Amino acid sequence: MTHWFALIILGILKLSLLTHSPQVLAAPKVSGFINAIGGYATERPTLGYPDDELTFTRDSLVGLQVSGHLAEKISATGQLVARGQEDFAAEAAWAYVTYQLSDAAQFRMGRFRTPFFLYSDFLDVGYAQHWISAPDEVYALQFDSVDGMDLTYNQSFGRLDSKIQMYFGSSQDDFTLDRQDATFDIRLREQMGVIGTLSYGWLTARASFHQATRLSIENFSELPLPAPLGNIAGLRNAIMELDAAYPLGADGQFLLGHLGVQDVAAEFSEFAVRMQWTHFFILGEGTLLTFDDSPLAKQRRHLISTGINWHKVTFFATYARANDEPVDLASALEDVPNTQDLRRVLHRLTHSLALESESSTIGMRYDLEAGAAFKIEITENQIPQNNQSNLVRFGFDLVF
Which contiguous run of DSSP H or E holds residue 137?
helix 136-139
- As a whole number of Å, the end-to-end CA separation of the chain is 25
CA 350 vs. chain centroid, Å, equals 21
Q: What does each of the 400 residues of the chain score in pLDDT, given as a tens digit?
A: 444 444 545 555 555 555 555 544 678 899 999 999 999 999 899 998 999 899 999 999 999 999 999 999 999 999 999 999 999 999 999 999 999 999 999 999 999 999 999 999 999 999 999 999 999 999 988 778 999 999 999 999 999 999 999 999 999 988 776 666 678 889 999 999 999 999 999 999 999 999 999 999 988 998 989 888 999 999 999 999 999 988 899 999 999 999 999 999 999 999 999 999 999 999 999 999 999 999 999 999 999 999 999 999 999 999 999 999 999 999 999 889 889 999 999 999 999 999 999 999 999 999 999 999 999 999 999 998 777 899 999 999 999 9
Pairing of strands 182-200, 203-217: antiparallel
Contact assessment for residue 98 and residue 191, using Cβ atoms and an 8 Å cutoff: no
CA distance 119 to 324: 22
Percentages helix, strand, coil for the chain (3-state, rounded to 5) are 20, 50, 30
Q: Annotate 218-278 with three-state secondary structure.
A: CCHHHCECCCCCCEHHHHHHHHHHHHHHCCCCHHHHHHHHCCCCCCEEEEEEEEEEEEECC
DSSP at 17: H
Q: Is 155 exposed, middle or buried (0-12, 13-18, 19+ CB in 10 A)?
A: exposed
CA distance 85 to 57: 5
Instruction: State which amino acid sits at residue 103.
Output: D
Is the model's pTM score more than 0.85?
yes
Domains of the chain: 35-57+98-399 (2.40.160)
Q: If you write DSSP's letter for every residue of 327-385 in order, what string do you get?
A: ---GGGGTTSTT-HHHHHHHHHHHHHTS-EEEEEEEEEEEEEETTEEEEEEEEEEE-TT
